[in-house]
Amino acid sequence: NESVLKFYMEDFANRMKKEFSKIAKTPKVVKPKANPENPNEKMILAFAITYPSLFFKFLEEGKKITLHNPVYKKIFDCVISEISINPHTRETMMKFLESKGFNPSVLLKFEIDALIKKPDTAENIIREKILNLHKENLQFEKGELTKQALLATDDNVAKYQEKIKEINQEIEQINKQIENLI
């Protein structure tokens, strides 16, 4: 019966709107773009190359983040895997990357020069950039989960809501960590 079907569809839509009104009011999350000018991605990559032995301290955090620029991602993955195996200085890392066909000194000159001039604050800079990029990735994931939750069956909605709640808590923790750095 068309009228009964229409009634159920409208009722379901109203329930979903009511259930997700808080989520629907949040600003839309824009997927991090593969933008060569993303300052977080560029600075993280530059730091990993400039201070590879210091970046080793951030290795686990570094493995959690995703660089969306395909060129930066290739270089970053190469750096991460190499740092996991061998210790490096800036010079040996640059030579290693050049042997792999990358030219980071041209690609990241400004960022590398900025980090070399601020060695005492470089660690805080990179910690902030990693946290910011991790937060961007979580906000994107939250947006995707929200979209999926709106289309999910009643049985699955609770799972999405729980995961969204966990992501919100993680984002809040990251915000606090960033505040403590400033």
Q: What is the pLDDT of residue 99?
A: 92
Q: What is the pLDDT of residue 86?
A: 85
Q: What is the pLDDT of residue 28?
A: 52
User: Predicted confidence band at 22 (pLDDT cuts at 50, 70, 90)?
Assistant: low
Q: What is the pLDDT of residue 176?
A: 85
Q: What is the pLDDT of residue 162?
A: 85
Higher pLDDT, 58 or 98: 98
* Distance set, CA 102 to CA 48, 79, 124, 142 (Å): 14, 11, 27, 34
30-34, 129-133, 157-161, 172-176: the lowest-pLDDT one: 30-34
CA–CA–CA angle 87, 122, 120 (5° rounding):
100
The two three-digit tokens of residue 151, written as one number: 């289309």
pLDDT digits (tens, 9 = 90+) for 39-77: 788 888 888 888 888 778 777 777 778 888 888 889 888
Q: Do 105 and 112 meet the contact criterion of CB atoms below 8 Å apart?
A: yes
User: Predicted confidence band at 153 (pLDDT cuts at 50, 70, 90)?
Assistant: confident
Mean pLDDT score of the chain: 79
pLDDT digits (tens, 9 = 90+) for 128-149: 888 888 888 888 888 888 888 7
Q: What is the pLDDT of residue 32?
A: 47
**pTM of the entire predicted model:** 0.59
User: Predicted confidence band at 20 (pLDDT cuts at 50, 70, 90)?
Assistant: low
Average pLDDT over every residue of 95-111 = 84
Q: What is the pLDDT of residue 21?
A: 63
Contacts of 152 (CB under 8 A, 6+ apart): 159, 160
